[in-house]
């Protein structure tokens, strides 16, 4: 992808420090988007030289954070088997997986993907998978035959967003239970009826 280089694989200890840095960056930046590299290093339990060796500057760290989160989200969608699982099963699995990843990487996944990057390509592929699942759901009569799929996709995304951010005191926190609620609300609102 444009502007990206192929990096050599990292040793296990280097991978671990990168993971710690990215997790710390997510925690701090979700509370304070202006957190410094030094604050992130302290939160990660690594030295300033380690964070600067891994990331040349703050934007490189943020780009890596966005890419890591996009990869995890793409894997969550793929694990739901969007093209092979029965549409209702795929919709439920993908919803539960996405809620779990988005709940853990709120800041990183709120960042706009830079056009031409791997992260942008991953988001585009996820959009295509979502539309494919919705098309399969329409063919299975889970949603109305006349449904506008891009509109339904926006409604589905809105339900995911509301589930993640709408009520911090919601007693339901299990991703599968939340997914069941999202899918049921989505399908009934789309004129279909969830099937066992």
Residue 1 — very low, low, confident or very high, per pLDDT cuts 50/70/90? very low
**60-71: average pLDDT:** 95
- 140 vs 190, which has greater pLDDT? 140
Q: How far apart are CA 179 and CA 21, in angstroms?
A: 30
| Mean of the per-residue pLDDT values of the chain | 89
Q: Distance between CA atoms of 43 and 40, rounded to whole angstroms?
A: 5
Question: CB of 115 within 8 A of CB of 34?
Answer: no
How far is Cα 119 from Cα 132, in angstroms, rounded to an integer? 20
Q: What's the confidence (pLDDT) of residue 171?
A: 82
Rounded to whole angstroms, how far apart are CA atoms 167 and 178?
12
pTM for this predicted structure: 0.82
User: Quick one: DSSP state of residue 142?
Assistant: S
Burial of 161 (0-12, 13-18, 19+ CB in 10 A): exposed
DSSP secondary structure, 22-83, as one string: HHHHHHHHHH-TT--HHHHHHHHT--HHHHHHH-SSHHHHHHHHHHHHHHHHHHHHHHT-TT
Mean pLDDT of 178-193: 80
CA distance 148 to 63: 34
Residue 76 has pLDDT above 50, yes or no: yes
Place of tokens 């007693």: 171
């Amino acid at each position: 992808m444009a502007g990206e280089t192929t990096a050599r694989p990292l040793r296990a200890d280097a991978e671990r420090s990168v993971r710690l840095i990215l997790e710390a960056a997510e925690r701090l930046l979700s509370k304070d988007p202006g957190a410094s590299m030094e604050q992130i290093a302290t939160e990660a339990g690594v030295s300033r030289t380690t964070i600067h060796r891994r990331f040349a500057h703050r934007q490189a760290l943020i780009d890596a954070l966005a890419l890591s989160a996009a990869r995890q989200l793409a894997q969550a969608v793929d694990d739901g088997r969007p093209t092979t699982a029965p549409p209702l099963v795929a919709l439920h699995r993908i919803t539960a997986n996405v809620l779990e990843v988005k709940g853990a990487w709120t800041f990183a996944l709120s960042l706009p993907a830079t056009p031409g990057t791997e992260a942008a390509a991953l988001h585009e592929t996820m959009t295509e998978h979502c539309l494919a699942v919705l098309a399969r759901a329409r063919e299975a009569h889970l949603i109305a035959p006349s449904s506008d799929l891009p509109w339904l996709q926006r409604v589905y995304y809105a339900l995911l967003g509301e589930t993640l951010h709408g009520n911090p005191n919601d007693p339901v926190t299990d991703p599968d239970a939340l997914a069941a609620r999202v899918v049921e609300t989505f399908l009934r609102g789309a004129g279909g009826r969830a099937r066992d």
